[in-house]
Amino acid sequence: MSTSVASGMPRRLRGRLSALPTMPLDILFEIFSYLPPGDLVQLARVTKPFRQVLLSRSQSALLWTQSYELVPDVPPCPEDMSEPAWAHLLFGGSYCYTCGTKPVNKIMFLFRRRACKNCIKKHMYQIHALPFTFDQWESELLYCIPVFIGEIKSYGVGRFWWDSDVEALRHDLDALLARRDGDRGDAYRQDLSGLADSMGILLKTKQEHVGLCEGWEDARIGDRSVEIMEIKEQRFDE
């Protein structure tokens, strides 16, 4: 068992888990099929074989489907993510995906990540400061990838893009441009227009899903504060 992960677990849970790696795979799958996604995420961290099995689409797709069915209020896994990656985002721990800083409770659903304030400042750019260049026609596509509209401290209010999303877009456009031998003429502009249509549809679907996720997160934070209040009241009563 990985001591670094196990050491962060309650002693009782560590004791129970210690027998798991010695069990046959079919028994393990039977046990895993009763676990919600958050527990599967924790288990994937326990040993390398668990991780390999739980992250393998071919071996565990059904298992994850069953796991999500146990918690019907959890927002469904979006098409652009795998079930384990989705579970990791929701339940994998409140830390920044880029630097590991804790706690980062708020999930940036549209960007599929958690990010601390420093990384938001470091990786989010307004259009005039983007680290990649786009011509007039290409820049239309920036409105078809995730963009945050709001305030970032010290930058003010505006539209902000995450650098790796912009880099991926630049990469896709370069591939498209290469197919036109670098010619930015009508054919390339038509390519851009077709791409904008399909990406726009995807972004709209993503935004609708984000609305669902934020509702779920708000309800969850509400539940948690009620739980904390109940614990406090209980302590007061004791």
d(CA 145, CA 34): 37
Nearer to Zn ion, 74 or 119 (CB): 119
Nearer to Zn ion, 15 or 100 (CB): 100
Q: Does 168 bind Zn ion (CB under 5 A)?
A: no
d(CA 99, CA 18): 30
CB 26 → Zn ion: shortest distance, Å? 41
Nearer to Zn ion, 7 or 118 (CB): 118
Nearer to Zn ion, 95 or 137 (CB): 95
CB 121 → Zn ion: shortest distance, Å? 9
CB 103 → Zn ion: shortest distance, Å? 11
Site string for Zn ion, 111-150 (x = CB under 5 A): -----x--x-------------------------------
Q: One-letter amino acid identity for 225?
A: S
Backbone phi, then psi, for 105, in 5-degree steps? -80, -35
d(CA 196, CA 94): 34
* Residue 199: how many other CB atoms lie within 10 Å: 16
DSSP 8-state code for residue 1:
-
* Residue 105: how many other CB atoms lie within 10 Å: 11
CB 116 → Zn ion: shortest distance, Å? 3
Sign of CA dihedral 168, 141, 109, 81: negative
CB 98 → Zn ion: shortest distance, Å? 5
Helix (H, G, I), strand (E, B) or coil at 184: coil
Nearer to Zn ion, 112 or 209 (CB): 112
Site string for Zn ion, 63-102 (x = CB under 5 A): ---------------------------------x-xx-x-
d(CA 162, CA 153): 16
Nearer to Zn ion, 108 or 147 (CB): 108
Task: Output the six-digit token pair for 203.
Answer: 């972004």
| Beta carbons of 122 and 147 less than 8 angstroms apart | no
CB 119 → Zn ion: shortest distance, Å? 3
E strands, the chain, in order: 124-125, 148-152, 156-162
Site residues for Zn ion per CB under 5 A = 96, 98-99, 101, 116, 119
